[in-house]
Structure 1
Amino acid sequence: MGVIYIGDRETGKTSLAMELANPKSNYVKVTYPDYEILKSRLYDDSLGRTKATDAVKVIHDEYLEIQVQLPTGNKQITLDWLDTPGEIWRATWQSTNSDNWNKLLNTILQSEGILLIVPPYREILKPDVNPEDFITQEQWCNRFNRWVDFFRYQCPRVRHLVICLNKADLFCDLHKEASQLEYIPHRSRMNWQQRNTYVFQRYFRPIQSQIDEINSSVSGLSIRCFITSIHNRSLLELPWIYLGSFLST
């Protein structure tokens, strides 16, 4: 069993995946495909940015193999990249695109972990960030309700749900947070439960009731919250080190 990589569009999933594959790594590296090959698929040199995901695709073409270096040895994680246009949540879309919908559900049923990428909301942004580029906290909470229903009803076998609030460079002091949260074998400042509590209390409190609802509905599920950014390798790697530490395969 592996992990699925999922989230709404424009959350930075492509940039995160490409940066994770950067050879300048600490404890996590993408062993397949090669970084340059992945970059050629995901990055547009003429625009100087990652390519937009094809709006008509539900299952992204990328499949990644990730190696996590742990004190007990290396752990391999296989990753299926799923993308979800907004229409996918409508019953009419699901009925008229049953092949794509069933393909998505079958992939999830074979996965032990889910890594969900969500964007920041307007109220936590730094003062110099344009708030008009982001949704409000109320909209952010309402949007997360879709994921609550999805995890409750479509993900009965998932054992690890990792929720990453991405683009942390826009809402916090990356160096300060990384120094608190970073993984250092045998001498980290925090364990996984402490990291989760720290991040949850600071950044995820608006959806506490929704996370509680998922927890109470999916038996045996562990939910962990992280902040991520392409501009800090320690924060970028943390969700993968957690998954490598606790996945059964």
Structure 2
Amino acid sequence: MGVVYIGDRTTGKTHLAMELANPKNEYVKVTSLDYENLRQKLYDVNTGEFKATDAEQAVYGEYLDIQVRLPTGNKQVIVDWIDTPGEVWRKSWQTDNPDKWRKFLETIQQSEGILLILPPHRGLTFQSGVNIEQFMNQQQWCNRFDRWVEFFRQDCPKARHILICLNKADLFCDLQKEASQLVYNPNGAQMNWQQRHSYVLQRYFRPIHSQLEQINNNVLGLSVRCFITSIYHRSLLELPWIYLGSFLAR
């Protein structure tokens, strides 16, 4: 199974993937990477921030062996972590780097699972102290998503599960409150996947509801699911991977 991370710059893609390898896990465990080694590789001690994916690379590849603990037993998800620099989504970069763009498309066109990591926008209710000027306004955010719709429709023919993750949820919601609603319970007492999707869709994705419908209706058998994610809450961080384990695990 191929799973691809995509998103613009500074959406937190790399940090999310790294935190997935944190040994303090609940239902999702990464067995192929050492958390501390990965942190040293990706973290810049001089800036105190995580390094952006090199624009000279079309993809940043890591092999992830993920174990997802489900009621039916442990499921293995073999993942090609294909992290892309934000520049690859610019037409100018694609024009200047046709071979690298073609290589990336060849990879994503074979992928069954795709995670799109989105940043927050100013239409959300941010926590006090957040500098909202660093984010797009809601209209810009919606316009940007139109390009993702085109990309999914044209370049992702084998995708069966597209997961749209609104990241940095700690900036715009009460993590504990939302996690209590969305938390995965192997005994089935909480929401099912469709109910989680509907809950998150109505609360956080309403501005792009029609675009999501366009994606869903374009490919027979395709499921689009919405999530909120944060590196500061393990349950929310794991949910997209538990979903993938439930439907794409081997």
Same fold per TM (> 0.5)? yes
Letter in 1 for 2:11: T
Gaps of 5+ in 1: none
Q: How much has 1:45 moved relative to structure 2?
A: 2.7
Q: How far did 1:3 drift? A: 0.8
Query: What SS is found at the alignment partner of 1:223?
Result: strand
Say whether the 8 Å CA contact 2:43–2:49 is kept in structure 1: yes
How do 1:112-127 residues align onto structure 2 when only pairs under 5 Å count? 112-124=112-124, 125-127=126-128
Structure 1 segments, 4+ long, off by >4 Å, are: none
Instruction: Provide the aligned length of Structure 1 versus Structure 2.
Output: 248
Distance of aligned partners of 1:21 and 1:206 in 2 relative to their CA distance in 1, 3 Å threshold: same
> TM-score normalised to the size of structure 2?
0.93
* Match of residue 198 from structure 2: 197
CA contact (8 A) 1:182 1:188 kept: no
Deviation of residue 134 (structure 1)?
Answer: 0.7
| Matches of 1:87 and 1:36, distance apart in 2 | 28
* Contact 2:197 2:227 (8 Å CA) reproduced: yes
Cα RMSD, aligned residues only: 1.6
Residue by residue over 1:189-222, the C-alpha shift from the partner in whole angstroms, topping out at 9 and shown as x without a partner, is: 2110100000000000000111111111122110
**Residues 31 and 65 of structure 2 are in contact (CA less than 8 Å); yes or no, is this contact kept in structure 1?**
yes
Give 1:68's aligned residue. Answer: 68
Structure 1 residue aligned with 2:30: 30
SS at match of 2:240: helix
Structure 2: distance between partners of 1:128 and 1:76: 41
Indicate if the aligned counterparts of 2:111 and 2:156 stay in contact, CA closer than 8 A. no
CA–CA separation in structure 1 for the residues paired with 2:216 and 2:32? 33
Q: Distance in 1 between matches of 2:187 and 2:175?
A: 23
1:233-244 matches, cutoff 5 A: 233-244=234-245
| Structure 2 letter corresponding to 1:29 | K
Which residue in the other structure is 1:155 paired with? 156
In structure 2, what is the Cα distance between the partners aligned to 1:98 and 1:170? 37
TM norm structure 1: 0.94
Contact 1:121 1:136 in 2 (8 A): yes
- Identity of aligned pairs, percent? 64
Residue 6 of structure 1: how far off its partner (Å): 1.2
